[in-house]
Amino acid sequence: MWVIVGLGNPGRRYAKTRHNIGFVVADNLAERYGIELRTKELYAAGKGSMEGNKIVLVEPLTFMNRSGLAVRDVMKRHGVEAGNLIVIHDDIDMETGTLKIRKKGSSGGHKGIESIIQETGTSEFIRVKIGIGREEGVLVEDYVLGKFRKEEIPLIKDAIAGAADAVDMILRDGVDKAMNTFN
């Protein structure tokens, strides 16, 4: 079994912000595979099958900085080890619309990833990172909680589809092949 987590913040206020790109990809996967996400206390989640693998698709409702609480709960509940965890999230240090897959690593300053590392006790899980760019002179918090500009929308739509395709390939062909294809 795999746990696939899209990171974001709950609520309408954050729905179309840069920081919620993980939720958008998770929603894309849910639609693609007919998985219904049901709200629990800490997260929205749904079970299904993707590329011949049983999966739990998750959107933490704990706000970004406490995402680890939800991830730890789901992993423990389903007996899933970190090697079968895929986390989809934004990355401010990558150009808007770019994708990168990593097998493991530090948080890179991302508070959601930092929380997951802290709560699970490991950094050895797969990340599908989507570049959201950066804007000089704008505070990071304000930027990530802002909406995409009109000219960024086509790049982000392509990145959302690409990230969903990357998750498919990780499950079907392994992380190394996905890294060679998408990085």
Among the options 19, 78, 89, 110, which is catalytic?
19
Close Cβ partners of 171 (under 8 Å, ≥ 6 residues apart): 2, 50, 51, 52, 53, 55
For the stretch 82-127, pLDDT in tens is 999 999 999 999 999 999 999 999 999 899 999 999 999 999 999 9
Task: With cut-offs at 50, 70 and 90, classify the pLDDT of residue 147.
Answer: very high
Domain boundaries, the chain: 2-182
Q: Label residue 23 exposed, middle or buried (CB < 10 Å: 0-12, 13-18, 19+).
A: buried
CATH of domain 2-182: 3.40.50.1470
For the stretch 37-53, pLDDT in tens is 999 889 999 999 999 99
19 is catalytic: yes
